[in-house]
């Protein structure tokens, strides 16, 4: 009996369940998609190290899934509460007919289970098909071979999804039972007549609060853009975040206090059509949903910032990899190694073999440790110099105090890297980079790292004279030139000073010996075999070096590309996962708030019909107020994001660039447009059905 009644209620209230059902289906589908990656990665033809990175990403996604499950659980509870409030009068009638609260709870239980099963099945079906596209995305991010691609169903992801959502539904059922048990008959029957109390605010106080809020947000925007380099501690960042939240709250709190009065002064606009009705409805909504609007705005801000920044990071890293990995191998070792030295903050005592080895070339080191040097080709080996007589602080010169005030965290006692121009040109020729020439009294600065670039260019514009090895040199150019020595994931060169070959750089000034080379191989398999000599701990070369206490550092193109791709993929996947969940939560809360308002204000639309408004005018009025209600938090979130993304790019300046923001922003807009648009349309049609004349 109760089960049949539940099914009838489901059919009758299907329109009310639309938003709830959409949220559940999307949540289940996304949860399944991101938790099925372990099955999808099995069919990708990738290297061992890449497979380890994918496993790390899956492990991190599993941790994030717990947070996502909690978020979705709270969202489901919120949506379910909306449905119960919509049906208070119905429950009151059941109680008048003699039905007890326990029986009503059973009806709700059956309905929740039915909706849960249907949405779970639909969500998993959509997730299974969508996860195939996820496989393509994984393959593209990791540059994997898709020749073994087959349709995959993840049994583990399905079971995990069912378990997580079963726990959520159990919590919702308990919540529903407690909620129903607290209801009184009189409250259920009169619930439809109760509206939230609206307190009118003093317009002058509201304008003052609005200006204060704008000032707070303006201060935050200034700190995270123009003054971003001075944010060096977590506490400073936390203060800005708290101020941003306060400013956002005050913006929405103050809007309802003066926006209506402002439009009322524009008689032509205020009295046109149904504008009066729409504006009063919007004013009341903002007035009663200040906290909700603040939370939604902040979640949208996080969505936009997370997605844009992560996609920008990935695009930049992929683009830079092509430029920054021109050869297969870089090796370097300390020259003139002392008996005691510090490495990564720890003190070490060098062995006799290591001290002797530091006086010879890297090629000789490789040959002395049983490496077949014929496996390498295009070998270029150069010395790199440094002296404490020329530090970053010395280079900056008269601008030291000014620069230190702006960038207090820089290590100004770091010795500058010095290279002879002919040595650099050998590398530049191998790398395919620009080569340079110098007169005997000139120097050139190579720098590509944005923050240091601006500092060094400011110094070079002043024609700063440097004293190197007892002789003065003037800058050949008034700005830094492009170039680098070591391969990297991005443009991280903070500064290399090129000097003429005539510069008297002595042997005791030699800091490192650096080697660049390509593998003498024609296929990827052959390159990977040579690669093992430098990356696998059980290779003969590495074992011999360890036995003698010789430290030979370096990097390979393959390892750089794999690690960079892995980092980018992990960031992108987690960002998309969290971003879409925040977006769904924001849109769902907005939609449910609007549906609640439409149900509460049904009588007002009846009055509109009685005074002569036709259905077209009423629908237009409904459309406009829903559009404004959806757009207000989104507009403020976009403004926040413009500044927030710039701050994120500043923090990740080593990895991401502002040039990649546009395509990332476009991709983010498309994602938000699709999800937000779905909820907007579902809300409009749902509200339209609620207010229509029966």
The string of pLDDT tens digits covering residues 570-625 is: 777 777 778 888 888 888 878 877 777 776 677 777 777 777 777 788 888 888 88
Cα 209 to chain centroid distance, Å, stands at 32
Top mean pLDDT of 204-213, 281-290, 439-448 is at 439-448
The pLDDT, as a whole number, for residue 454 is 83
Residues 24-31, mean pLDDT to the nearest whole number: 82
Residue of 85 and 498 predicted with greater confidence: 498
pLDDT of the residue at 270: 60
**pLDDT band of 87, cuts 50, 70, 90:** low
Say yes or no to pLDDT of 344 above 70.
no
Tokens 């549906």 belong to: 595
Please give the average per-residue pLDDT across 223-230, as a whole number: 75
Determine the pLDDT at residue 480. 93
DSSP for 245-300, please give it. HHHHHHHHHHHHHHHHHHHHT-HHHHTSTTHHHHHHHHHHHHHH-HHHHHHHHHHH
Q: What are phi and psi of 120, to 5 degrees?
A: -65, -45
262 CB-near residues (< 8 Å, 6+ apart): none
How many Cβ atoms are within 10 Å of 485's Cβ, its own excluded?
22
pLDDT of residue 365: 92
pLDDT band, residue 565 (cuts 50/70/90) = confident
Mean pLDDT of the chain: 78
In tens, the pLDDT along 398-436 reads 777 777 777 777 788 889 999 999 999 999 999 999 999
Q: What is the pLDDT of residues 383-396, one digit of tens each?
A: 999 988 888 888 88
Q: Which residue has the tokens 């997370």?
A: 306
SS (H, E, C) 330-341: EEEEECCCCCEE
Say how many C-beta atoms besides its own lie within 10 A of residue 454's C-beta.
Answer: 14
Sequence spans of domains, the chain:
1-194, 197-326+558-694, 352-549
DSSP-assigned letters across all residues of 555-617: EEHHHHHHHHHHHHHHHHHHHHHHHHHHHHHHHHHHHHHHHHHHHHTHHHHHHHHHTT--HHH
Instruction: Indicate the SS3 state at residue 503.
Output: coil
Higher pLDDT, residue 343 or 555: 555
301 has a pLDDT exceeding 80: yes
pLDDT at 38: 66
- Mean pLDDT over 132-160 rounds to 69
Report for 105-109, 165-169, 331-335: range of highest mean pLDDT: 331-335
Write the DSSP string, 439-499: -TTEEEEE---HHHHHHHHHHHTTT--EEETTEEEEESSSS-B---SS--SS-----EEEE
681 falls in which pLDDT band (50, 70, 90)? confident
Statement: residue 193 has pLDDT above 70: no
Retrieve residue 103's tokens: 């029986």
**Calpha distance 251→271 (Å, rounded):** 26
Contacts of residue 432, Cβ cutoff 8 Å, sequence gap at least 6: 326
Percentage of the chain beyond pLDDT 90 is 15
Written as six digits, the tokens of 638 are 């976009």
pLDDT at position 51 is 64
């Amino acid at each position: 009996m109760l089960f049949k009644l539940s099914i009838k209620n489901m059919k009758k209230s299907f329109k009310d369940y639309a938003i709830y059902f959409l949220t559940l289906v999307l949540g289940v589908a996304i949860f399944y998609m991101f938790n099925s990656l372990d099955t999808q990665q099995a069919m990708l033809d990738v290297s061992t190290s890449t497979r380890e990175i994918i496993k790390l990403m899956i492990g991190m996604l599993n941790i994030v899934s717990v947070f996502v499950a909690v978020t979705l659980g709270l969202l489901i509870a919120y949506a379910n509460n909306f449905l119960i409030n919509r049906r208070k009068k119905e429950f009151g009638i059941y109680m008048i007919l003699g039905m007890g609260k326990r029986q009503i709870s059973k009806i709700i239980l059956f309905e929740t289970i039915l909706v849960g099963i249907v949405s779970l099945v639909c969500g998993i079906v959509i997730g299974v098909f969508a996860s195939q596209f996820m496989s393509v995305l994984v393959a593209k991010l990791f540059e994997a071979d898709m020749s073994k691609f087959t349709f995959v169903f993840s049994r583990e992801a399905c079971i995990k999804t069912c378990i997580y959502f079963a726990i959520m539904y159990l919590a919702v059922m308990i919540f529903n039972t407690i909620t129903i048990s607290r209801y009184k008959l009189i409250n259920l029957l009169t619930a439809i007549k109760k509206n939230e109390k609206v307190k009118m605010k003093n317009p002058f106080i509201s304008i003052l609060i609005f200006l204060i809020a704008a000032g707070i947000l303006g201060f935050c925007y200034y700190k995270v853009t123009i003054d971003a380099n001075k944010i060096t501690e977590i506490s400073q960042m936390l203060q800005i975040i708290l101020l941003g939240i306060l400013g956002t709250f005050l913006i929405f709190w103050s809007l309802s206090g003066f926006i209506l009065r402002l439009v009322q002064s524009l008689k032509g606009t205020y009295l046109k059509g149904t504008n009066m009705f729409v504006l009063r409805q919007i004013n009341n909504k903002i007035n009663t949903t200040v906290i909700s609007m603040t939370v939604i705005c902040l979640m949208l801000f996080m969505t936009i910032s997370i997605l844009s920044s992560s996609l920008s990071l990935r695009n930049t890293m992929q683009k830079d990899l092509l430029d920054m990995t021109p050869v297969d191998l870089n090796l370097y070792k300390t020259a003139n190694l002392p008996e005691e030295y510090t490495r990564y903050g720890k003190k070490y005592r060098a062995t006799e073999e290591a001290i002797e080895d530091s006086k010879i070339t890297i090629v000789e080191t490789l040959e002395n440790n049983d490496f077949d040097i014929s496996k390498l080709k295009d070998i270029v080996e150069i010395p790199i110099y440094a002296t404490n007589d020329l530090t970053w602080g010395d280079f900056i010169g008269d601008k030291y105090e000014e620069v230190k005030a702006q960038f207090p965290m820089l290590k100004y006692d770091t010795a500058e890297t010095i290279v002879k121009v002919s040595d650099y040109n050998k590398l530049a020729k191998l790398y395919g980079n620009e080569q340079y020439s110098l007169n005997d009294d000139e120097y050139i600065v190579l720098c590509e790292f944005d923050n240091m670039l601006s500092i060094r260019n400011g110094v070079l514009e002043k024609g700063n004279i440097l004293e190197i090895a007892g002789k003065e040199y003037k800058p050949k150019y008034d700005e830094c030139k492009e170039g680098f020595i070591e391969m990297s994931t991005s443009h991280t060169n903070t500064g290399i000073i090129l000097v003429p070959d005539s510069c008297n750089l002595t042997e005791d000034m030699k800091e490192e010996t650096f080697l660049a080379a390509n593998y003498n191989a024609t296929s990827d398999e052959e390159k990977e075999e040579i690669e093992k000599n430098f990356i696998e701990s059980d290779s003969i070369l590495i074992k011999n070096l360890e036995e003698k206490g010789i430290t030979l550092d370096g990097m390979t193109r393959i390892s750089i590309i794999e690690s960079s791709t892995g980092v980018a993929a992990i960031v992108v996947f987690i960002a998309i996962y969290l971003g879409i969940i925040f977006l769904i939560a924001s849109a769902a809360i907005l939609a449910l708030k609007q549906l609640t308002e439409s149900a509460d204000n049904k009588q007002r639309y009846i009055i509109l019909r009685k005074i002569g408004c036709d259905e077209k005018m009423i629908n237009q009025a409904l459309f406009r107020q829903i559009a404004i209600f959806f757009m207000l938090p989104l507009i403020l979130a976009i403004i926040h994001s413009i500044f927030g993304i710039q701050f994120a790019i500043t923090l990740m300046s080593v990895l991401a660039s502002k040039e990649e923001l546009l395509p990332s922003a476009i991709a983010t807009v498309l994602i938000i447009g699709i999800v937000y648009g779905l909820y907007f349309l579902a809300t409009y049609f749902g509200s339209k059905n609620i207010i229509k004349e029966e």
